Amino acid sequence: MKEIYNQILKLTNEELDAMDMSAFKINDNVPVQWFYGLSGREHYRLLAHISSMFEYETLCDVGTYQGSSAVALGASSYNRVKSFDLLAQPEIEYIKKDNIEFILDDVRHHNDVLKASPIIMFDVDHDGTFEDLFYKHLLDIKYKGIMIVDDINLNAAMWRFWASIKQTKTEITRIGHWSGTGIVLFD
């Protein structure tokens, strides 16, 4: 996974911004309009590119909301995406992609999915509570892979959470989300 981690660090805005995101359009509202934003402003191009770096893997999305991160992670139909949320979201009704599964449950009940996933996209409530619990859970199950964390610069709770991570990590906001994108290598 270190090789993939290093490849992600080398991605440029130019290559991400050259991606044609129109192929993802489902209707005028799905994915939400910010899905199409340029890299460094929005992170969906980054996620779609990361999807293309894998084949025949199941990628994990924690925090579904309106399904945009799941759609981006599912860009390569060679991969499956399992997207977890605790609350039902009406927008995901429109997302009928064979390779994306939405699951209403605590992801910590799905250790088989977590342990098999080379990429975990993590984007929940940003108050630091579940962030701490989930990080501890990944350590407890000895997760090996890459976690992408959204919104690491959003607020003090997220700064503290990001600072608490002991593994190899890099801030990649320049190619991710304006509110802060981090990448963590669990090896």
* Pick 84 or 143: Cβ nearer ligand SAM: 84
* Pick 140 or 187: Cβ nearer ligand SAM: 140
Distance CA 41, CA 89 (A): 24
Whole-number minimum distance, CB 118 to ligand SAM, in Å? 18
> Sign of dihedral through CA atoms 80, 42, 8, 155?
negative
φ, ψ of residue 155 in degrees (nearest 5): -160, 175
Whole-number minimum distance, CB 46 to ligand SAM, in Å? 11
52: tokens are 């293309």
Whole-number minimum distance, CB 69 to ligand SAM, in Å? 3
Q: What is the DSSP string of 140-181?
A: HTT--EEEEEE-TTSSHHHHHHHHH--SEEEE-GGGS-TT-E
* Pick 148 or 185: Cβ nearer ligand SAM: 148
Whole-number minimum distance, CB 25 to ligand SAM, in Å? 15
* Pick 55 or 173: Cβ nearer ligand SAM: 173
- Sheet containing strand 80-85, edge to edge, reads 100-104, 80-85, 58-62, 119-122, 145-150, 181-186, 168-171
Q: Which residue is nearest to ligand SAM (CB)?
A: 63
Whole-number minimum distance, CB 3 to ligand SAM, in Å? 26
Q: Chain centroid to CA 25: how far?
A: 19
* Pick 11 or 62: Cβ nearer ligand SAM: 62
Whole-number minimum distance, CB 130 to ligand SAM, in Å? 4
The contacts of residue 118 (CB under 8 Å, 6+ apart) are 1, 4, 54, 57, 59, 145, 146
136: tokens are 């501890």
Interface with ligand SAM by CB under 6 A: which residues?
62-66, 68-69, 84-87, 107, 123-125, 130
* Pick 94 or 168: Cβ nearer ligand SAM: 94
